[in-house]
Structures are given as C-alpha cells and as structure tokens.
C-alpha cells in the first residue's frame, strides 16, 4: 500500500500493477492502438498495468525502423504462453539475460535477452515483494521491498540464492559501483519518510552491511557515473520538502547537485526531466530536460520537440547506442486505465517517434538503462 501511495505521488510510476493476471479478462487488450510507428532501435518495454482497473502487467516489443517484426503488445505471453504475473517492477538486462522482479508475486523471472523466453522462475520470498535488480561481478542483487527490507544475492551461473542482508524500511533503488552495492532507502510513507534519509552500503566481497551515508529525504533513485561518484535523487515529502539531486563523492562527501526530477545517467552525463502534474485538471506539463556533465557540472537544456504530447512521464532512459532520449509516459495524471506511450527523441531533442502501448508504463527496460535501471533491453 505504501508503494502505491508513493508512486502515485511521485508520478514516476503512477500506474501500479494488478492483483491477478491469469484470467481471460486481464489478458484482453485495452484500447489497442490503431497506428504505431517503430522507434529507431528495437526495445522491450516492461509495463505494470493497473491494479485498480484489473489490467495485467507485461512486456511489449517495439521493433526498430528496419525490423521486419510488428509491434507485439504482449510479447512475453506470446513467447512463453503464460502470464508474466503480478506487478513487474524495475527490470534489468545483465549479460545475456533479462531479470524481471515481480513485487506482487514475490519472484524473479530470468529471461533470454534475445528471445524473451523463460530460463528460470526464482521464488525470492513468501512475504516480501521483489522490487529492484542490479548485476555485478557475476551476481544479481535483488531488493525485497517492505517495512523490513533486505537485499538478496543470486549466482547467475546456477540461479541459486546465496543469502540476504537486512537493510531496513523500504529500500527503493540500488546501484553497483566501487566494489559496493549502494541501496537508496526511501523509508516509511506513514512516518513521512523519517527513516528514509540514507543510503545503505553493502560490500560485494563479503556481502555484508558496510556502513551508511546520510542523504536527503526519501531517496528514490541512485546512479553512478564512470568514475564511481554517486548521484541520489531525493524526492522529498511531496509537500514542503522539494526534490533535489545530491552528489556523493568517492570519499563519501555529500553535496547538493541540482534540482530534482526523473533522472537517467549516460556515462558522465546526468539527464534530469522536470515536469508539473496538475491532478485537479488532469494535465501534465514537461517543464525542461537538463543534461548535466557530472565532472565539471556544465549544463545544457535539451528542448524536446512536441513535448506537450508526452503526457505524464514515468520513466527516462538514454539509448547507449545512439544517445537517443526515451521517455515512458501515460496520457495524463489520471489516465491510470489507459494505455501508455514511449516517445523517442534525438540527443538534440528532435522528435523521432511516439508509440502507443497496451498498458500504462511503469518502467522501461534497461539496456540503456539506468539504474534501477529500466532500460532499453
């Protein structure tokens, strides 16, 4: 419940997953698009669906401009002849596999990154949802999200779980850097995120708790640049405490870096998407997209062509192959039961394509991904 409230307020993932995905009603298309244009690069898109409207999550496939395949709005189901499950979260591509955590089903899917066929279905916990994934040095690390959250490690050679480290209330995002796993702790919504002002450090070599870093209120994203500096998006309390991005140096010094928004890291460049949500009038406005060089802090405003068509952004990714900007969105702040969209822009902001999906977008696959990454798989 805390997650749903948080995501709705945060507007990163306004559409949350559903409770069941096996019945015929949930598998029926919702407002299928009548016209679809492919993106420059093909991608898989993880869509969460909508719990309140009984719409299942899934993985859609969007072909590239030169791809002979057509858009498949439920590719996982088509390939595997089964439902993805309840509430897919922040998937990641690591090596030749895609790892999809299922918060409602408490499991982790291991998929072939080329075909999306199931390699393994790993039950992660009987009580705590699977939330976020990152890969490093032959292991996949999984956040188990809840009031007593922890991080579980899995060997990618045999997909066996190797134990867990307790981290505290509501771990939200993580990144691997400097031989460590850094876990952003968002804290308890009902306590106004009072315990969510830190990043927990886990040493990869020993897989043990290795300290904490004090940061701003309610950290919701954490990323690393090429030299191992961390950038933490602190969401605030959605009222008086405004969002901001903080930088954590290699020595652990924390400084304010820029105002907050939806973030994505591309090498040493941090992209920050600023937007305004008007729930009363059901309107979302893209205010600006900044590209900030994290070494010298030089900043460039990227003017997005036809930005008014994006709607309410829920995910931001940068394609590592060509630097294109990819934004996942819903039509408006209250469009929970309507299909989502993927918009692609060139690095200079020129619009390339806009593709309608079956469901609203939670996260995009992370090949391009970011951290928590979601991503261009």
Least confident of 125-129, 181-185, 272-276, 302-306: 125-129
Please state, in angstroms and rounded to a whole number, the distance separating the CA atoms of residues 12 and 370: 14
Alpha-carbon torsion, ordered 116, 117, 119, 121, to 10 deg: 90
pLDDT digits (tens, 9 = 90+) for 318-354: 998 899 999 988 887 776 667 788 999 999 999 998 8
Task: Domains for the chain: give ranges and CATH numbers.
Answer: 2-356 (2.130.10.10)
Q: What percent of the chain has pLDDT over 70?
A: 80
Task: Inform me whether the pLDDT recorded for 264 exceeds 50.
Answer: yes
- pLDDT above 90 covers a percentage of the chain that reads 54
Whose structure tokens read 């897989």?
207
pLDDT of residue 54: 64
More confident residue, 24 or 95: 95
Q: Please report the pLDDT score of residue 126 as a whole number.
A: 66
Has residue 167 got a pLDDT over 60?
yes
Higher pLDDT, 5 or 87: 87
Q: What is the pTM of this model?
A: 0.85
Distance of CA 38 to the CA centre of its chain: 22
**Tokens representing 271?**
């992209």
Angle at 123 between CA 132 and CA 178, to 5 degrees: 35
Q: Encoding tokens for residue 369? A: 């991904």
CA–CA separation, 326 and 343 (whole Å): 6
d(CA 206, CA 210): 9
| Structure confidence at residue 369 (pLDDT) | 28
* Average pLDDT over the chain, rounded to an integer: 82
Q: Would you tell me how many other CB atoms lie within 10 Å of the CB of residue 37?
A: 14
């Amino acid at each position: 419940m805390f997650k749903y409230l948080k995501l709705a307020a945060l507007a990163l993932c306004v559409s949350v997953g559903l409770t069941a995905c096996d019945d015929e009603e949930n598998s029926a298309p919702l407002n299928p698009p009548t016209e679809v244009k492919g993106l420059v690069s093909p991608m898989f898109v993880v869509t969460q669906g909508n719990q309140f409207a009984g719409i299942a999550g899934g993985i859609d496939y969007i072909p590239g401009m030169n791809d002979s395949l057509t858009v498949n709005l439920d590719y996982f189901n088509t390939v595997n002849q089964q439902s993805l499950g309840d509430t897919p979260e922040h998937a990641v591509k690591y090596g030749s596999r895609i790892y999809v955590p299922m918060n409602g089903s408490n499991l982790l899917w291991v998929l072939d990154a080329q075909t999306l066929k199931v390699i393994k279905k790993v039950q992660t916990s009987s009580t705590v949802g699977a939330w976020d994934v990152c890969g490093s040095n032959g292991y996949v690390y999984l956040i188990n999200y809840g009031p007593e959250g922890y991080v579980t490690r899995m060997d990618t050679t045999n997909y066996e779980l190797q134990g867990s480290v307790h981290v505290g209330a509501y771990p939200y995002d993580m990144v691997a850097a400097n031989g460590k796993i850094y876990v952003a702790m968002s804290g308890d919504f009902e306590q106004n995120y009072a315990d969510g002002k830190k990043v927990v450090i886990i040493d990869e070599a020993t897989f043990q708790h290795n300290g904490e870093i004090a940061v701003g209120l309610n950290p919701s994203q954490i990323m690393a640049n090429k030299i191992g500096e961390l950038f933490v998006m602190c969401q605030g309390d959605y009222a008086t405490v405004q969002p901001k991005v903080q930088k954590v140096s290699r020595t652990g010094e924390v400084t304010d870096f820029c105002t907050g928004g939806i973030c994505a890291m591309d090498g040493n460049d941090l992209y920050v998407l600023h937007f305004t949500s008007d729930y009363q009038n059901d309107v979302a406005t893209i205010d600006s997209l900044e590209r900030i060089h994290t070494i010298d802090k030089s900043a460039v405003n990227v003017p997005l062509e036809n930005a008014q068509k994006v709607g309410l952004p829920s995910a931001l990714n940068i394609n590592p192959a060509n630097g294109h900007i990819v934004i996942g969105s819903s039509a408006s702040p209250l469009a929970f039961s309507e299909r989502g969209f993927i918009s692609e822009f060139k690095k200079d902001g020129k619009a390339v394509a806009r593709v309608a999906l079956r469901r609203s977008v939670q996260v995009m696959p992370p090949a391009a991904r970011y951290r928590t990454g979601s991503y261009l798989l």
